[in-house]
Amino acid sequence: MQKHFINNVHKIMAYLTAYYQGKLESESKKPELKAKDLHYYPEFLYKYRSCNDYNFESLEQDYIWAAYPATFDDPVDAKIKLDFDQEWKNLGELSLDLIWDSIRKKRSVEGKTGKNGLYLGDKNQLLDADGEIDSLKVMEAYNSEFAKLPPEYKRKLVNGRYKTVCEKQVHEYIHNKLGESTEHLRKSIMLACLTKRKDNQKMWEDYADKYKGFVIEYRRPEYKELSAEHKEMIFWLFPVEYCSNIPEVNLRKIIEFYIQREYFEKTIDITSECVDLFCQMLYKKKEYSAEEEWRLFNCTKENKMYVPYASAVYAGRKIEKQNLDRLKEICFKKNIPLYKQEYDAFGNMSFVPCKNT
């Protein structure tokens, strides 16, 4: 992905982090498009549509509908690529080491004798024959130390201040949290899919009702035309990157984040990892590369995005007469050029202007 767009993701993550931590002074801190960066965006983008009242209305009222990736037909679209089971062996050791270090720190703070804190003894005594943490030994040591604690410390443990150090529990907790997080991302950020192509036959078949629909062309506006709202909106427009192998997100720092937060009430910076997570929604398999897709993200709770830059409409060659008449009514009223798709004897696609008759 171009450096410009990676930098934009970093700015978005920095803004969101500050926003959720309450560190923003005003709304003016939102990242937005600068005049010098307008050339990074295509001169035209297109939206394939089928013919129905909803899509006619969106053309008439100048809006694009955004949807959650979790609602897309493709079950892996915008799905975070994590190979949890493959990585767990190394990550599990990291997890338990973090918990172990916390226990030792608690002991040094709350009492070196172990009477006022939880102390499991020498770590080596908790390993199995292969040198890995033995959950049963950990549980036995934990229960033994738990029995020695004064009542007020037992209450803290029971209330969840400290968690039982058990490999199975840690594995299940992290696995579930990562699963929730990956799916949460697909259900929390809405987006609209556009393309640089108006002449893609496969897209006419798949997204325009087998040539019975239409395509809306959106022009790139001049910078002076843009309101503050639209400068911000275009900042959230990104090209899809097509890959033979979609990059995986590094789990190590993310798992450490969850463990530190859940077990030790601490937070660590995972901004870089959040950038990687966001970019996962911009990766698609190489076989889709002919679509030349761009994605417009919308983090508000509104599904409609006001985009008053429709510059042409292209009707499919099989569009029904009543639907073509409806397009004519809308387009000529809004002074938007309307074209009809045709094919010549050699299979070449072209678009012929429609007359207002």
Q: How many CB atoms lie within 10 A of CB 48?
A: 25
What pLDDT is recorded for position 233?
A: 92
Q: How confident is the model at residue 38 (pLDDT cuts 50, 70, 90)?
A: very high
What pLDDT is recorded for position 184?
A: 72
Q: Are 310 and 211 in contact (CB under 8 A)?
A: no
Least confidently predicted of 7-11, 115-119, 148-152, 217-221: 115-119
Q: How confident is the model at residue 80 (pLDDT cuts 50, 70, 90)?
A: confident
What is the secondary structure of 18-85 as a DSSP string? HHHTT--S-GGGS----GGGGGGS-SEEEEEE-SSHHHHHHHHTTEEE-B-GGGSSSTTTT-----HH
SS3 state of residue 349: strand
Most confident of 62-76, 161-175, 336-350: 336-350
* Residue in the structure block whose two tokens are 């790139």: 220
Distances (CA, A) of 85 to 74, 113, 120, 251, 280: 24, 39, 28, 11, 19
Least confidently predicted of 121-130, 165-174, 285-294: 165-174
Token readout for 164 is 């039982």
Most confident of 15-24, 73-82, 165-174: 73-82
Considering the chain, what is the average pLDDT of its residues? 79
Per-residue pLDDT averaged across 263-280, rounded?
78
Q: Is the pLDDT of residue 114 over 50?
A: no
pLDDT, tens digit, 9 for 90 and up, residues 299-321: 677 789 999 999 999 999 999 99
Q: Is the pLDDT of residue 17 over 90?
A: no
SS3 state of residue 269: coil
Separation of alpha carbons 90 and 151, rounded Å: 36
Per-residue pLDDT averaged across 159-164, rounded?
43
Q: How confident is the model at residue 253 (pLDDT cuts 50, 70, 90)?
A: confident
Residue with the bigger pLDDT between 4 and 60: it is 60
What pLDDT is recorded for position 198?
A: 97
What is the secondary structure of 271-325 as a DSSP string? HHHHHHHHHHTTEEEGGGGGG-EEEEEE-SS-SEEE---EEEEEE-TT--HHHHH
Which residue type is seen at 249?
V
SS3 state of residue 138: helix
Residue with the bigger pLDDT between 279 and 156: it is 279
What pLDDT is recorded for position 189?
A: 83
List of residues 6+ apart from 232 with CB closer than 8 A: 30, 31, 32, 33
Q: β-pairing, 241-243 with 283-285?
A: parallel
Our measurement of the distance from residue 248's CA atom to the centroid of its chain's CA atoms, rounded to an integer in Å, reads 14
Q: Are 78 and 186 in contact (CB under 8 A)?
A: yes
For a pLDDT cut of 90, what percent of the chain falls above it? 41
List of residues 6+ apart from 189 with CB closer than 8 A: 68, 69, 281, 297, 298, 299
Using a CB cutoff of 8 Å and minimum separation of 24, what contacts does 96-102 make? 96/133, 96/165, 96/167, 96/170, 98/256, 98/259, 98/260, 98/263, 98/264, 99/163, 99/165, 99/170, 99/259, 99/263, 100/165, 102/263, 102/264
Q: How confident is the model at residue 237 (pLDDT cuts 50, 70, 90)?
A: very high
Q: Are 278 and 288 in contact (CB under 8 A)?
A: no
What pLDDT is recorded for position 291?
A: 95
Closest CA to 327 of 345, 341, 307, 344: 341
Q: Are 234 and 33 in contact (CB under 8 A)?
A: yes
Q: What pTM was computed for the model? A: 0.74
What pLDDT is recorded for position 121?
A: 56
Least confidently predicted of 96-100, 167-171, 263-267: 96-100
